[in-house]
Structure 1
Amino acid sequence: MATHSELRDFWERRLEGDWTESGVGYRALGRPFNTWMYRVREEVFLREVRGLRPRSADVLDVGSGTGFYVRLWDELGASRITGSDMTEAAVDRLRARFPEHRFARQDASDLDAFEDDSFDAVSCMDMLFHITDDERYTAAVREFARVLRPGGLLVVSENCLRRPEQRGEHQVNRTLEWISGTADKAGFDIVRRVPMLVLMNAQVDAPKPWRKAWGGVLRAATVTAPTGWLAGAALYPLERRLVRGRKESPTTELVALRLREQG
């Protein structure tokens, strides 16, 4: 498993070379397919967060990457948005793309640029499963609780496995039990958990034969940019129905949590 500094250098190089959806997404499937995939992510995020009616005057987006979710907070009407990323490559470009917002180079597990009780909502999307060290993951969740005001909203995306966890060099897929237990210890209650994707991503919580078979289909379908675009276009309408119709997903889910009131 890579060390924290090795992971930081990995993401620095990756975002320096590809500051697009494929750079922050499922790179093996190519940019055209990732563009379709992120359309589904956008619809789910806007629908769910709007429905939760966050007190979103002050928002912190952790692991901002290309600023995809910064733009969505803008669309939701947040009046003040702060972003952070562990890489210089992302922060420099985010400041140029969104000059009206503040960005800081910060590690999720040590948000020392921000004071206690500073934000009404925090988002950390498509990033937590890339924290491969459990202690740093736990520290990140505690930091989210520290910078949120009581009753504040935390929105994350995670692979909440019912099967045993899966550990790789740059990604750890943890169990729902472990994730919910870590959140509970930090003072959070899960208020919503819904599929963010179903078929348009790695089937990490599916039986191994299906996981391997579907992964092979996706890689074959996206071997070139034109076929990747066609595969995304074909799956997109089905995926939109699936994320609305299912309660759980074999891949990424959106999880919304509230920080418990003190006292």
Structure 2
Amino acid sequence: MATHSEIRDFWEHRLEQDWTESGVGYRALGRPFNTWMYRVREEVFLREAGRVGAGGASVLDVGSGTGFYVRQWQRLGAGDITGCDVTDAAVARLRQRFPDHRFVRQDAADLDAFDQDSFSALSCMDVLFHITDDERYAGAVAEFARVLRPGGALVISENFLRRPEQRGEHQVNRTLEEITGILGKAGFDLVRRVPMLVLMNAQVDAPTPWRKAWGGVLRAATVTPATGWLAGAALYPLERRLVRMCRESPTTELLVCRLRD
């Protein structure tokens, strides 16, 4: 398994080369498909994060990447937005793209640039499953609790497996039980968990035959930018319905928590 330094170097190089939706998303499916995928993510995030009382909130976005969720907090009327990322490549570009907001290079497991009780809301989207070290994972959640004010909202995306965890060099898909246990130990109460995507992403929590078959379909459908755009456009209206209808998903889900008073 890659070390923390190797993982940071991996993301530094990746975002330096591709600071787009595909750079931070499912890269194998190409940018056109990822653009459609992120339209679904946007809708789910705005719906769920909008319920936490974002208007005027002081927000920290951890792992800001391209600033996609920074922009969503702007749309929700957050009063003060701070972002951080583990890579210099992202931070430098974020400062140019959002000159009215503060961005610093910080690792999710070590937010020492921020004081205790600094924020009323915190988002960490598609980041935690890239923390392959279990101690650092728990440390990141503890840091979220430290910098959030009592009663503050935590919005994260994760894979929440109901099957055994899956470990790779740059990603660990942990179980729902393990993740919720870590959150509870850090002082968070779960509010709601909803699908972020259903079909437009790797089926990490599905039976192996379906996971492999659907993964093959997606890769074949996105072999060129043109076919990737068409595949995304075709799946988009169905995906919008599925994320509202389904209670759970075989892929990424969004979780909202509150820090106990």
TM-score range (shorter-chain normalised) is over 0.9
Aligned to 1:220: 220
Identity of aligned residues (%): 80
Query: Which blocks of at least 5 consecutive residues in structure 2 are unaligned?
Result: none
Aligned to 2:61: 61
Is 1:37–1:200's contact at 8 Å kept on the other side of the alignment? yes
The count of corresponding residues between Structure 1 and Structure 2 is 261
Structure 2 counterpart of 1:118, which letter?
S
Distance in 1 separating the partners of 2:11 and 2:223: 23
Distance in 2 separating the partners of 1:183 and 1:237: 33
Aligned to 1:90: 90
Aligned to 1:8: 8
Aligned to 1:44: 44
Structure 1 counterpart of 2:128, which letter?
L
Distance in 2 separating the partners of 1:85 and 1:258: 23
1:126 aligns with 2:126: yes
Is 1:55–1:152's contact at 8 Å kept on the other side of the alignment? no
SS, match of residue 254 in structure 2:
strand
Aligned to 2:151: 151
Aligned to 1:190: 190
When the two chains are superposed, the root-mean-square deviation of aligned CA atoms in Å is 0.7
Query: Using a 3 Å threshold, how does the CA distance of structure 1 residues 55 and 146 change in structure 2: closer, same or farther?
Result: farther
Aligned to 1:178: 178
Aligned to 1:231: 231
TM-fit CA distance, 1:53: 2.4
Query: Which blocks of at least 5 consecutive residues in structure 1 are unaligned?
Result: none
TM-fit CA distance, 1:49: 1.1
Aligned to 1:200: 200
SS, match of residue 152 in structure 1:
strand
Aligned to 1:73: 73
Aligned to 2:140: 140
Is 2:84–2:106's contact at 8 Å kept on the other side of the alignment? yes
Structure 2 counterpart of 1:31, which letter?
R
SS, match of residue 115 in structure 1:
coil
Is 2:54–2:73's contact at 8 Å kept on the other side of the alignment? no
SS, match of residue 152 in structure 2:
strand
What TM-score results when the alignment is normalised by the length of structure 2?
Answer: 0.99
TM-fit CA distance, 1:88: 0.1
Deviation string 1:36-65 (CA, Å, 9 cap, x unpaired) is: 000000000001111232465210000000
Is 1:56–1:120's contact at 8 Å kept on the other side of the alignment? no
Distance in 2 separating the partners of 1:78 and 1:55: 5
TM-fit CA distance, 1:111: 0.2
Query: Using a 3 Å threshold, how does the CA distance of structure 1 residues 46 and 257 change in structure 2: closer, same or farther?
Result: same
Distance in 2 separating the partners of 1:42 and 1:158: 15
Structure 2 counterpart of 1:45, which letter?
F
